[in-house]
Structure 1
Amino acid sequence: MHRACLDRYLAGEAPLVMLHALSIRDKYKRLELLAEPSQILQSIGLYDLWFGYFGEIFADPALRTYGPGDAPVNAAFINAAFVLYSLGCGRVSVPYLDEFYKAFPKSRYTPTVLYAQSMTYGRYQQPVNLTVAEEYALRNLETIERDFKDHDKYDYIKVFAENAYAYIKAKQEKYDEALTLCAEGHGKMLKAYGGERFKLHQSILIYNTSQVYELVDDLPRAEKQLREAIAYDPYYGEYHNDLGNLLSKVPGREAEALQAYARAIELCPPYYEAHLNRAALRNRMGYAAGALADLDRTLAIKPNEWRAHFQKGNILMRQDRPEAALESYLAAADIDPKNPDLQSNLGLAYSELGKASESIEHYLRALELNPRHALTHNNLAIEYFNEGRPDISLNHATVAVEIGGDPDYHLTREHIQASLQADLTSRRTRASTSSAKPS
């Protein structure tokens, strides 16, 4: 049955059935058959299903260098690396891309490999390494000029290499150079291919120009470019999500921002970031119930999204529900234990529940992570004061005033100072009375 079905597929008489492809014992033949469905699953975002079978293939050293370098199987691996780096798995994609470049330096996929490396180091790796990112971007431009000058898509390949370089320039705060590269790149694409060919790819150039304008806080021009990108590709959810983010920064345009987030979610229902961003805006607008609904949806899509747990805890704290807030904060801390804001809020939740020792423990942990966390110094001062330790309390209150600009910090310190002064006066009075002789 397997043989008959595969023969029909290879003859072009029927589509490939995955069951039959997965049943091939020879791993090299199996890879050749799985290359096409791998690309399809990636293109429609079914990453979990794709990981289920291609993860094992990607980890096989023999398969990683199989093929001539220009075959569909090689493209499947390159695209797999693209998915991995865009999902934040640079530690997995970077070694493979280096391996591919060494094995197939003259591959037609070389510009794609170098582009991915520049973006991994310049955007997705945390922290970014702009020096290495720029090295890859420049190597890519040199390679294209040397080996791809006669390629029928030379302009397309060159412009997208320059686009990666523009992103790095923007991150280096060389905004004029970044904008020039994006604008010239779009002009080259229009001249070479017109307004209809590669239309979706041209939208990326316009979108990146919008990002640069947003970085320099020129929001009107950023919005203009972003709306033009949407006109080129109206069904790409990320553009609508970014429009929501941009509009949420402009006073009075919150309703439009909510509409943009709704459109992003409509286009891509599992888009957890759109739910997360809309939750932040709804919370800011006072729509706590809607914000909590968005956060619950975020966690249903991505249970380990610590920011959703954190935001949920903050809302619950403002609703005077410290026990529920603590549960959310602890869930966030299980995922990201080294966030000082989170540790500080854990201290506050424990304080509200009357658990002073746990509160102090988390405040101190927050200060280990960030010694200049003014709010933590202020709250720790209050906790120590309530514990009857005014001297150390005053030290933290003073630090909070010195590094923070909140008037409440001054009130905390003044209250502690007044209490210490009253205590000192009381002691002096008692000492004077006890030393006085009877008349």
Structure 2
Amino acid sequence: MHHATRCHRPLGGLAGVVWACAAAALPAAAQTVYDAAAVPTAGGVVTFGLRSDHHADPVSLALMGHGHWNSRDWAQVAPRRGDNLARIDDEARLGWRQHGGAWHGWQLALLARSQATLVASHDALALAAQLARGEPQAADAHWNTRVRLRAFSGAGLAVGREQALTGLPLPGRWQAAWEMQGLVLGSWRERHIAGPVHLDASSQRYDFALGSSEAYNRLRLPFQQPAARRGAGLLLAAQLDWQGEGPGRSQPGQPGDWAPWARLSLRDGGWLRWRGMPQQQATLDTATASTDADGFLVYEPLIQGQNRQTTLTRWMPWRASLAGGVTWADGQRWGVRLDSEPGWGVLPAFTWQWPAAAAQATGWAGLGWQAEWRVHERRLGLGLDWRGLSLRLGADRLGSGARSREWALAWRQGF
């Protein structure tokens, strides 16, 4: 595909190029299972959970949910310094966890997932907001734009197992868990935009040199061939827990005044595959010059690109989490957690938990409590556990201006 055109406002559609592609690909979805400790029984435990985690650095969640943005919406974009993060991670799950017998520790679940991550440079968002406001600039300016989007949704089956690691020549108690998810994908989208933009203040002329690549099962291309209606995914997860023994033990093998703990977990590493995936690559160069019939120099935007359809297979990068802290004698558990976000970096959090079994001993009627402060999201989360029911709520602020919000509901019943 080769297309040249004249354009009086060559970046009038940057909203669609930079953020609107994210707003369209970050669908509001129902999300999943809150992985709380199962109610111990001799048979098994039925688990049901919904969980939703939404966050956006540059705009409110209410605005991000708009299907079609206009210039007034773009005028409200206020990016943070450096790269900006927007994320949706939703899941719903119904499962069975076996206790006792030859299948002790095995888990089986039906699940539905929707996940999307957008990482955009400050310059890309600030430029798009400025263009929407139509404000003239008094001095020359330069922006380095960079946007990357990854999103998928699907449903399927998860199989996993938990087991205590006994007999290790290591101090403390160790426990491991793993899970494998086989998904039928209903949607998969990847988008990458990058390049410099320059403004000549004397002429108020913007020069763009942007490159774009996109793979999306809902793309519509000229002369498009039939593509698979569904894709496939295989995602893996693993976790390792350690509970140490601290000083001050009254008897050997019993906990003291405090004891250290640590956890390492990996999730969502694996493969996505889609047969006949529509893909598009394009470049926009507004500094292209040519001459008209009278020999005068004319600048015009030039869009060049190509379309293709191939079977697309992609390795999904791991999302890692490393946590550690101390457990006090009354059961309170304090810690710090570092979560990695592919393409972004590390997201720290401070955590506190008082399990129901420990809280009951101090007269809290079997209620378990949790609290969490996520530093980058500036979000406070609170949780409550009671007789197999778990509830978790969190936000950076109340009302429609919230930019970070989570909720989770889980129910467990032993048989």
Q: Say whether the fold is shared (TM-score over 0.5).
A: no
Q: From the CA coordinates, give the structure whose radius of gyration is larger.
A: 1
In the superposition, the TM-score normalised over structure 2's length comes to 0.21
Instruction: Determine which structure has the larger strand proportion and give its number.
Output: 2
Higher relative contact order (CA 8 A, sep 6+): 2
TM-score (norm 1): 0.20
